[in-house]
Homo-oligomer: A and B are copies of this chain.
């Protein structure tokens, strides 16, 4: 009996045990990893100062594509007043009341490889008042112009929901006012933020970043575990300062919490940001602003499934719905750090922590393979092809199978050490 017992008793494997924490023993001292990160930053700064951002004009696309820019409130007001004046002239000269509205249909979208983002082509359509099929939309357009003019005078921000409620009788449902709001952005040639209409906030940021939010200086190393909520109105964000070596863009909340609690940003100076799922406009604007002002490389940590890559692509080259503003909403050159399909075998993620892809997942994966922004990156094509072939996906959380802190203590440091991003 005593013998039997002894046999059964196994020593608790030490935490360095290679089978329990794969690759932990390959980790070099932090100083070496940090050196590699300094390298990354140097290369990044050099390339970003050499390669100035191309414009539509330089690509000879200015006459066939349309873009919006940030405008000051007085400029937005003047733009609205010009529109209305133009219409008044048109009416007085007997040509009637009509808006010329840029089309945002799929057929009017163009992926420009040199810019690595989707842009809007220049097709427009007339929206006459004296036509039964467009009278409502042209009335809504006029009303939205009036409301925006009001917002600019008062210099306050409202949500799309607020805007809808100012005239429910006319708008009938919110999709109608939302859609015309995007039309108005295009028409006036300014970003939606310039209109002072904001979306609800969703993202949080923590780490080596100091910035001003509506006049208050925020130190994101002193935001505890909760982090700082990303402000909904980017125009009141400024004065960004940072000693970070990179920005870590995280898809999900759970991974963000792990990294915030472990104060990962103190071990490897970085800024950690997440939109908690689907990227919202505020987080996209904030990420771009950080990248542009601080000139930092962006590394993305997303689930190993088609939606992870899709999310990366929205941050990187924009969504079709808001392509007219892709220049302001997209962050170029985001690197895919993980979890990549090839990591599943490489990091020995156990079978039971992987999930079979559904038919829909596989279809989304195959569709992504046809997208230009994936095709231009051979590494991404290879990874995505592997995913669709193995029909397996995995969440970032799957790494918890090796212990709750495997993500922050082994996986991410090793990735950084090996410069293992695509």
Contact = CB atoms under 8 A, between A and B. Distances in A.
Nearest to A254: B159
Assign chain A's interface to a size class. Answer: 35 or more
A211 to B, nearest CB: 9
Contacts of A228: 223, 226, 228-229
A224 B230 contact: no
B236 A224 contact: yes
Contacts of A142: none
Interface stretch (A21-29, A86-94, A399-407): A399-407
Contacts of A198: 257
Contacts of A232: 225-226, 257
Contacts of A166: 400-401, 403-404
Given A151-B404, A169-B350, A225 B236 contact: yes
A233 B257 CA distance: 10
Contacts of A231: 224-226
A314 to B, nearest CB: 21
A216 interface: yes
A201 interface: yes
Given A231-B225, A276-B200, A159 B353 contact: no
A56 interface: no
A399 B257 CA distance: 36
A175 interface: no
Q: This chain: how many copies in the complex? A: 2
Contacts of A227: 229
A383 to B, nearest CB: 22
A202 to B, nearest CB: 8
A44 interface: no
A310 interface: no
A398 interface: yes
A165 to B, nearest CB: 4
Contacts of A168: 350, 352-353, 398, 401
A83 interface: no
A376 interface: no
A158 interface: yes
A162 interface: yes
Contact of A254 (B154, B162, B404): B162
A388 to B, nearest CB: 23
A103 B236 CA distance: 52
B165 A353 contact: yes
Nearest to A170: B352
A212 interface: yes
Contact of A261 (B156, B161, B223): B156
Interface in A336-394: 350, 352-353
Contacts of A216: 221-224
A123 interface: no
Closest A-B pairs by Cβ, 7 of them: A213-B224, A226-B231, A214-B224, A169-B352, A216-B222, A200-B253, A165-B400
Given A159-B397, A165-B395, A201-B253, 7 more contacts: A156-B405, A168-B352, A169-B352, A213-B223, A214-B225, A216-B223, A228-B229
13 contacts: A162-B400, A164-B397, A165-B395, A165-B397, A166-B404, A167-B401, A200-B257, A201-B226, A204-B229, A214-B261, A225-B233, A226-B228, A228-B229
